Structure 1
Amino acid sequence: MDVALVTCSEWPELSTSDAVLQKALAARGIDARALAWNDSTADWSQPRMSIIRATWDYFNQRDVFLDWARHVSQLHTLWNPFSLLQWNTHKSYLRDLDERGVPIIPTAWLNKGSSVNFEELLQERGWTEVVIKPAVSAEAYGTILIKEGMAMEGQLYVDHMLTLHDMLIQPFMPAVLSSGERSVIVIDGEITHALSRPPIHAVRPDGQEQADLPQKELVQPGEDEVQLVRKVMDALSSPTLYARVDLIRDMEGSPCLMELELVEPSLWMHWKPEAAELLADTVFKQLQQTSGHAGTI
């Protein structure tokens, strides 16, 4: 095996998007196969490169996942690099990017084991509707919307979750209901495509039907969005093979960063096969360089 396309035991098969990548790699003579990071029988000395694609259960056991990633990175090339994985698996990376000049959604940071007066916090910040989420999360795990008049529910939820996790509280951005969030895909430093997406299920306002929400579709990112994506990528400490930059427009209509996905983002390459071709070209070149035999894999 040349390349492990890393999945997880709960979702061991390749997604439709990653199957397009596998086909593009095969066209270049590269043997790429799905391999679950938490498969106890897997031999990680066999691949020459590992590309994390669908480790969607990592947040349940972050420390174990990072131990695995550190081990694999010592055996061969791991994408994305271990240092970025460690950083990006805790949402405190958003605070780091904020300090580097990247606009993010205003955030209240709460440490595990701490306490907060939820109603006072909202009054001090001038927030009425907020999203509460764990700092280590995926697939909207633990993410809820607290609407105006639900301070008691918010307090009970925060009190409970702070016994388990570091937490974030952010104002709800109404733009997610009109234009949706924008997911911009970056492959080897190049913006390949972007999608608008409806809000995650956990934060849809009560009674809002799916048909009434923005639907997923390919879009052309605006120039201000492109500039923000480039600013985000320039702020990183290491190169990336892939990235997904999720944006939303704030109350003033300016784009800001919702999430930077460097671990296991959906890249929707079946919507834009050229992205899979670019990613496969990059992998091919890297394998050539490590093989020491120009023109062969």
Structure 2
Amino acid sequence: MKTCAFLSMDSLEGYFVYDDLLYAPMAVKGWHVERVSWRAKDVDWARFDVVVIRSPWDYQQDAGAFLRCLEGIDASGAMLANSLALVRWNINKGYLRDIQQRGIAIVPSLWRDDFHLADCHSAFEHFACDELIIKPLVSANADDTYRLNRQRLQDQAALLAERFAGRAHMIQPFVPAILQEGEYSLFFFGTEYSHCIVKRPKAGDFRVQEEHGGYLQAVEPEPALLELARQTLAALPEATLYARLDYVRLADGLAVMELELIEPSLYFNMDAASPQRFVDAFVARFG
């Protein structure tokens, strides 16, 4: 039996994790799965045939150390999915500029390397909006993500200056459709579409993650959304084992919110056939 590690974190308490739904179909295909924390010391990564990045949802706390862990895995002879090159590309949200240059619509964004309150003030006029989102270019799980109107910007100016001083970040208009229609996530395993969900925040919040009280619903994507997702997948710098592509609707059409290629929840609980689709893609790639 071949061995696969699911790269995780020390403790998943308080998180919603569905990767256990893969264990049985992986075993049927001759694969034993172990969950291993990326922070574990002295791991012999060479004893694994494949390491799949699954739930290291604290990596943004020390992205440098996380990348060094992946470099060690990559050098060990174990196959890493998704690849180290793809992780390096996706770990900084500047990848959105690459996607935009390849003809894929994204949420309008301003890119900053340091925090200046005047930049935020002028962004309201730049985007012709009443609310902004500011977030780091390296982040996960909505950490250090702020929704601001003019008054909140003024009230939180000192906090924002502390959080973003010397820290690359992006400023975007808040997209109201997130509150009503929601944010769509489409899942691809290999080149094949698997399933789609829509995520909406709880009342009074704007974050759609389950950990923040977000509401999830399985849906069939409209043809235009599915086609945009296929175009987005084709625009990635290399092939993926798994991809979660997130979209929102702007006034002039659908646009990429984020592309999750490192450690996205794949919401196997939302589609009963999705674990087998993942395993089929895994086996097609790794045997």
TM-score, normalized by length of structure 1?
0.87
Residues of 2 paired with 1:148 and 1:13: CA distance?
Answer: 33
Secondary structure at 2:107's aligned position in 1?
Answer: coil
State the partner residue of 2:268.
269
State the partner residue of 1:280.
279
2:136 to 134, 137, 154: 134
Secondary structure at 2:239's aligned position in 1?
Answer: coil
Contact 2:178 2:248 in 1 (8 A): yes
1:240 maps to a residue whose letter is: T
Deviation at 1:167, TM superposition (A): 1.0
Secondary structure at 2:71's aligned position in 1?
Answer: helix
Deviation at 1:278, TM superposition (A): 1.9
Residues of 2 paired with 1:135 and 1:203: CA distance?
Answer: 21
Mapping of 1:185-224 within 5 angstroms? 185-199=187-201, 203-204=205-206, 215-224=215-224
Q: 1:214 to 1:280 in 2, by over 3 A?
A: closer
- Residue 38 (str. 1) matches residue 39 (str. 2): yes
Residues of 2 paired with 1:13 and 1:49: CA distance?
Answer: 27
Deviation at 1:143, TM superposition (A): 0.7
1:23 maps to a residue whose letter is: A
State the partner residue of 1:173.
175
Mapping of 1:85-124 within 5 angstroms? 85-112=87-114, 115-117=116-118, 118-124=120-126
Q: Could you list the per-position Cα deviations for residues 60-97 of structure 1 after superposition, in whole angstroms to 9, with x for gaps in the alignment? A: 11111111112212222100011110111111011111
Q: Could you list the per-position Cα deviations for residues 28-56 of structure 1 after superposition, in whole angstroms to 9, with x for gaps in the alignment? A: 12111111111114221110000000010
Residues of 2 paired with 1:42 and 1:151: CA distance?
Answer: 45
Residues of 1 paired with 2:125 and 2:183: CA distance?
Answer: 26
Q: 1:85 to 1:201 in 2, by over 3 A?
A: farther
Deviation at 1:281, TM superposition (A): 2.0
Superposition CA RMSD, Å: 2.5
State the partner residue of 1:144.
146
Residues of 2 paired with 1:44 and 1:15: CA distance?
Answer: 26
Structure 2 stretches lacking a partner, 5+ long: none
Residues of 1 paired with 2:246 and 2:277: CA distance?
Answer: 21
Contact 2:60 2:138 in 1 (8 A): yes
Secondary structure at 2:178's aligned position in 1?
Answer: helix
Secondary structure at 1:2's aligned position in 2?
Answer: strand
Q: Could you list the per-position Cα deviations for residues 209-237 of structure 1 after superposition, in whole angstroms to 9, with x for gaps in the alignment? A: x9xx9831100011111111111111111
Deviation at 1:138, TM superposition (A): 0.7
Contact 1:161 1:167 in 2 (8 A): no
Residues of 1 paired with 2:162 and 2:241: CA distance?
Answer: 38
TM-score, normalized by length of structure 2?
0.90
Contact 2:123 2:171 in 1 (8 A): no
Secondary structure at 2:215's aligned position in 1?
Answer: coil
Q: 1:154 to 1:224 in 2, by over 3 A?
A: farther
Residues of 1 paired with 2:13 and 2:28: CA distance?
Answer: 23
Answer with 66-75 or 240-249: which moved more: 66-75
**What is the aligned-residue identity percentage?**
27
Q: 1:239 to 1:160 in 2, by over 3 A?
A: same
Residues of 1 paired with 2:204 and 2:10: CA distance?
Answer: 25
